[in-house]
Structure 1
Amino acid sequence: MYTFIIVDDEALIRRGMLKKIRATEIGSELAFAGEADNGEDGLALIRSADPDIVITDMRMPEMDGKSFLKLLQADFPDKKIIVVSGYSDFEYMREAISAKAVGYLLKPFSRDEIQETLRKAVGLLETERSARAQMARSESEKEALSYAADLQTLCHLILGIQRADQAPVMRSSRLRSLPDAARYALLTLTAPDRLPAEPAGTDPADALYVPHAHHDRMGFLLLLLPLPDRMRGDEEAAYAERTAHLVLGHLPAGSAIGISGAKTDWRRLEEAYRETVAALDARPAAGDAPAVARYAGGRPAADAVAWEPMDELVFFLESGNVPRVAEWIGKLFDDLREMSGLTLAEVKETCRILVHEARELLQRTLAVAGGPPASSSFEVVLRTSFDSESLRVYLLQLLPDIAAMLRERSAYASDQLVDNIRTYVERHYDRTLTLEKIASLFFLNPSYVSYLFKEKTGVNFIDYVNKVRMDRAKILLRTTDDKVYKIAKALGYDNPKYFFRVFKKVAGYTPEEYRLLAADDDKRA
C-alpha cells in the first residue's frame, strides 16, 4: 500500500481533501501518512514519514509552494507530487512542470479529478517499483552467474584443467577479495554417495566450498588460514584437521577428507590438490583407514603388487572366459585385503597395470590401429575413487566386458589343445612358463601336458619355450642396443647367466658374439 501526505496552510481544506480522497475508489488503496500547514513542516514530515505521494498547495506561509517544489525535486526526486492551487497561474504551472509533478489540480476539484491524478501517481510508482525489482533480479542473476563461473574457475584451477599463470580474477562480489587471502589449505572431500550442495561445519567467512565440476561424490573446501604471526605451523595443521572432522560429521558415512599443506600462492591450487590425493592414497587399503588424512610430504609408494596369479587372470581375459575373469577379480581383491601395510596407491597402480594389459590384449586381438587406446575413463575412476571397493566394482564392470569382446576372436579357439598351448607361449614368452602353470591354465594334469606336447610336437615343453625365447632374443640383439641383461629380463629370464647359457646352447654363440656376427652380415648385405 502506498502512502500520501497533504501540505496546505488551511486545515479545513486539508480535511476536505482527505475526505474526498477517502471517498474515491483508489482511496482504499492508499494510506494517509500525515499533514502539514507549510513547506518547512512539510519537508520535516517527508523526512519522518517517507510518503510515496505529496499533495501540496502553492500559496503557503514561511515557505511557498515554488520553493517547496524546488527542494522536493532536489532532495526527494522519487516522490510523486500533485499540485493543488486555487489559481490558474502560469508561473505555478511552470514550477509544477519543472518539478515533474504528476498533476496540477485547480480548486475546487471533483472526486473524479483527484482519483484520476492519484491513479496516475500510483501507476508511475508501480512502474518504478517493477523496474527496481527487475533490476534487482537482474543483478541477483548476474551475481549468481558470476559466482557459479568463479567456482568453476577455482575447480578447473584445482584440477589443472586451467593453467594458473597468475592469481585468479574473481567476478562475483562474494569472491572478489578471495585472491587477497594470504594463506590457505585445500581439503578434498570424497564420499560414497552424493555430497551435500554446501557441506556444513565451517564458518563461511573462513571456508569456501567448491563443488567438483563433473562428480557429485567429490568436492573441495578452501580453508583460509590465519597469518603466521597468529598461528604456528603445528597449530595450523591441527586447525585444518579440526575443521575436517567438523565437516566430516555432516557428510555421508564412509566419506574421507584429504588435507594439503599450507599455501600462500593461488597459482599452487593444483599442487595443493595433488597433495590431498597423495594423503588419501597413502592410507591403508584395508581395515579401518583414517577418514581424515593430512599430507605428510612426498608421494605414497605406488608400485604394483606382485600378485602371483595375475597371469591366470590375464589368460582368462585373453581367452574370453567371462565367469573366470569375474571370479579372479574377486580373488585379487580378497588377496589385496589380506596384505598388511598395503596402501590405496599400490592398489590403484595394480589396477592400472591390469587395465592397461587388458586394453593391449584388446588392441592386439582386434587389430585396432594406433596402439592400445588410452583408458581415460579409468584414469578418472582412479582420480575420484578413494576406497578399494569402488575399484573392485569398476573392474567387475569393465574387464568381463573386455573378455566378452575378446571371446569372439579368441586366440585359443583351436580344437587342438597343443596349438592353444603353443599360442600362449608365443604370446607370453616374457612371463614365467612352467608345465604346472600351463596345466593350471588349461585345467589339465602337468604330466599329461608334458606327454601330449611331446607327442604332438616332437620336442619337450621347456625346449620349445627356450626356442621361442631365443628366436625373439636374436631379433632384439640384431635390432636394438639393449644390454644383454635387459634382453634376458624382457624374455622372462630372471637370471642373465642362465639366459647366456641357454642362448649359447641353442645358437652356438654367446649373445655378444651373435650381435657382432649379425652386424657384420648386415654390413655385407
Structure 2
Amino acid sequence: MSELHLPADQQFFADLLSGLVLNPQRLGRVWFAGQPRMLQTGSVSLEWPRLDVVLRGDYTNRLDDKSQRLGEGEMLFIPARAANCPLFDKPVMVLSLVFAPAWLGLTFHDARGLAASHTVRKIELPHPQRGEGEAMLTALTYLSRTPGEQDIIQPLVLSLLHLCRKVVHTQPGAVLPRADFLYQSLCNWIQDNYASPLSRESVASLFNITPNHLSRLFSQQGTMSFVDYVRWVRMAKARMILQKYHLPVAEVAKRCGFHDSDYFCRVFRRQFGLTPGEYRARFQ
C-alpha cells in the first residue's frame, strides 16, 4: 500500500491507522454509548456513527449517566444519534472517526497537558459509506445492545479500522480504480439482494466476471471472503428482524435468504452463540 505524496495531515492519520491495524494485540475492549433521555452539558451527538480509539492515557466519558474510564487500546463506538460526553480530565491522546454518508472524518485529540493546551488535528476524506463499510456499521449498531459479545465485536472493529486505513491511503483526487469500483458495486448489490439465492457463480455471471475473479476482488479489496460477506449481511438483517418483529423463525430465515430454517438456526448459533429464539428473547 503506497504512502507516497500524501498531504501532511493525511499522512499523519495514515501512520496512526497503520500503527493500529498492524498491531491488533494492542487493541482492547469496545465500549458503547447509548441514547440518553437528555443530553448533559458537553455531550456530543451526531447523525452519524463514530468510533473513538484511545491511543495513549486515560479517556473519561460520561455514558448512560455514569463515568467510564477507557484505557490505552480501548475503543468507544457511538451509534448514530447516540451521545458521549468526553471529559479530557487526564493526559490522553484519542483518534476519533466519523462515518458520514459521503465522507470519513478523522480527528486527533492531544490532551496530554492542561485543558488549555488541548490540540486537535482534523481532516475529512470523501468516501461513501456503502457496501462492506455500511454492513459493519449496521452490525456494530445492533451489537451495541449486547456489548458482552466481544469475541464478535472486536474483530469487526478491527475490520472497520482496516477499511479506514485503506481510505486514508487513497491519493487525493484519485480516480477510483476499476477493481475498487467493481468491489463496491458487488457489495452494494449484495446489500440490496441478500434475500435472493446468491452463489459465487451466479453473482459473477451477473457482473460478467469469472467466479475466481470475484473471489480475488473480495480477498484483495475487502476484509472477508465473498461467502463470509454474504453470510455477515444476512446475519445482520436477521438480527434486525428478530429485534423489531415477531415473525416465525422460518419466515425470518426466508427473508434473509435461507430456505432451510434449521440451517439458518445452526449458522446463527455458530456466529452469535444463541439460537434465533434465544436472541429475540433478549429484546422482549
Same fold judged by TM-score > 0.5?
Answer: no
- Answer 1 or 2: which has greater strand percent: 2
TM-score bin (small chain): 0.3 to 0.5
The alignment's TM-score, normalised by the length of structure 2, stands at 0.36
The structure, 1 or 2, with the larger RCO (C-alpha pairs under 8 Å, 6+ apart) is 2
Q: Whose radius of gyration is greater, 1 or 2?
A: 1
The alignment's TM-score, normalised by the length of structure 1, stands at 0.20
- Answer 1 or 2: which has greater helix percent: 1
